[in-house]
Amino acid sequence: RRHIISLADFVSSEYDTVLQTAASFGEVLSRRMKKVPTLQGQVVANLFFEPSTRTRSSFELAAKRLSADTLNFAPGSSSLTKGETILDTAKTYLAMGTDLMVIRHREAGVPQAIATEMDRLGSRVGVLNAGDGQHEHPSQGLLDLFTICSLLDRDRPRLELLQGKKIAIVGDILHSRVARSNIWSLTAATGAELHLAGPPTLLPQLFADMGVGRIGQLSLHWTVEEALENADFVMTLRLQKERMSQHLLPSLREYHQHYGITRDRLKLCNPNVKILHPGPVNRGVEISSDLMDDPQFSLISQQVTSGVAVRMALLYLMGGGKVQ
């Protein structure tokens, strides 16, 4: 696969390839081996037109651990401020010999537009979507999948481990590109159940129109309590205030009261339940502050750690690496 824009068209074997490659890199990193020479001579450009902490830094670290040369673009100090277009910016990086472009933008469709332009120019550049608007965040979906599957089998994480597992996704699903990518990856696992819950104003219109109900592996609930019942994993999502018009923004106190993940609500879940959050977290809103830091339940730091191994796997596979 030259570009990774969406998980919509991923097939089971591709998920397993990413999971197993990431596990190999995780093993390498755990041995404190700092670098492998796999992408020596290749150039990875991080073109982040929207702010990021985790995704940008972990792609940079992943590229460096693979011995690639990295270019980091900062929009505020770039020629974008002089009116250069996004496509001309990408072409400038192409002309410098970039092999892989990692793109984040606040508008859905920008990574695809750049990928299409790169193909039109006959280049071999691979484009990786690092989050585009409300559309998708495929590397986050894959690192969430890796975090869950590695917990179930550290040596051989794979999609089939999710058979019979119940996963709740709670919060601002309407604005969440993470939810969209996770819905594709988790429903690719046969026998996994996905339960979505959030305020009606923060659910996609299609779901809101359908009302509560079930389609295949996907169930929709109005109350968080229903979604949490016997859940094995709870994914809580950030309230994306920057993408909300004022009328959609719930009071943060009310949101926490009705949808926040608290110790009391966790009693509804499987006793071994684990909590995920893609970050950044609105502390004390989506999840109570003490729970967020409790290693018995929280996988949030583990998600960040997994991000490096998964992004190494993606760059490696896109950079022409053979599956080991």
CB of 143 to ligand CP, least distance (A): 9
Of 131 and 260, which CB lies nearer to ligand CP in the complex structure?
Answer: 131
Q: What is the DSSP letter of 161?
A: G
Nearest partner of 227 among 168, 313, 304, 139, judged by Cα: 168
CB of 279 to ligand CP, least distance (A): 5
Nearest partner of 303 among 280, 273, 270, judged by Cα: 280
Residues in contact with ligand CP, counted by CB under 6 A, come to a total of 9
* Dist. CA 71–CA 231, nearest whole Å: 42
Q: Which helix (H) or strand (E) holds 79?
A: none
106 binds ligand CP (CB under 6 A): no
Count CB neighbours of 139 within 10 A: 27
∠ CA 80-81-82, nearest 5°, is 90
Of 38 and 181, which CB lies nearer to ligand CP in the complex structure?
Answer: 181
The letter for the amino acid at 145 is L
**Rg, Å, the chain Cα set:** 19
72 binds ligand CP (CB under 6 A): no
Q: Which helix (H) or strand (E) holds 33?
A: none
Residue 55 annotated as binding site = yes
Of 126 and 278, which CB lies nearer to ligand CP in the complex structure?
Answer: 278
CB of 135 to ligand CP, least distance (A): 13
Residue 250 annotated as binding site = no
Binding residues for ligand CP restricted to 275-304, rule: CB under 6 A: 278-280
CB of 190 to ligand CP, least distance (A): 27
The letter for the amino acid at 84 is E
131 binds ligand CP (CB under 6 A): yes
Among 54, 106, 158, 243, which residue interacts with ligand CP (rule: CB under 6 A)?
Answer: 54
Of 181 and 187, which CB lies nearer to ligand CP in the complex structure?
Answer: 181
Phi-psi category of residue 69: left, alpha or beta, with phi > 0 → left and psi -120 to 50 → alpha = beta
Handedness of CA 166, 289, 277, 28 (dihedral sign): negative
Residue 177 annotated as binding site = yes
Distance from the first to the final alpha carbon of the chain: 17
Of 24 and 72, which CB lies nearer to ligand CP in the complex structure?
Answer: 72
| Tokens coding 304 | 């960040």
111 binds ligand CP (CB under 6 A): no
Q: How far is CA 254 from CA 13, 283, 284, in A?
A: 42, 14, 12
Q: How many CA atoms lie within 13 A of 206 on its CB side?
A: 3
320 binds ligand CP (CB under 6 A): no
Residue 247 annotated as binding site = no
Binding residues for ligand CP restricted to 14-53, rule: CB under 6 A: 52-53
140 binds ligand CP (CB under 6 A): yes
- Residues tagged in the binding site annotation: 54-55, 82, 104, 137, 140, 177, 238, 279-280
Chain positions contacting ligand CP, by CB under 6 A: 52-55, 131, 140, 278-280
- Residues tagged in the binding site annotation for carbamoyl phosphate: 54-55, 104, 137, 140, 279-280
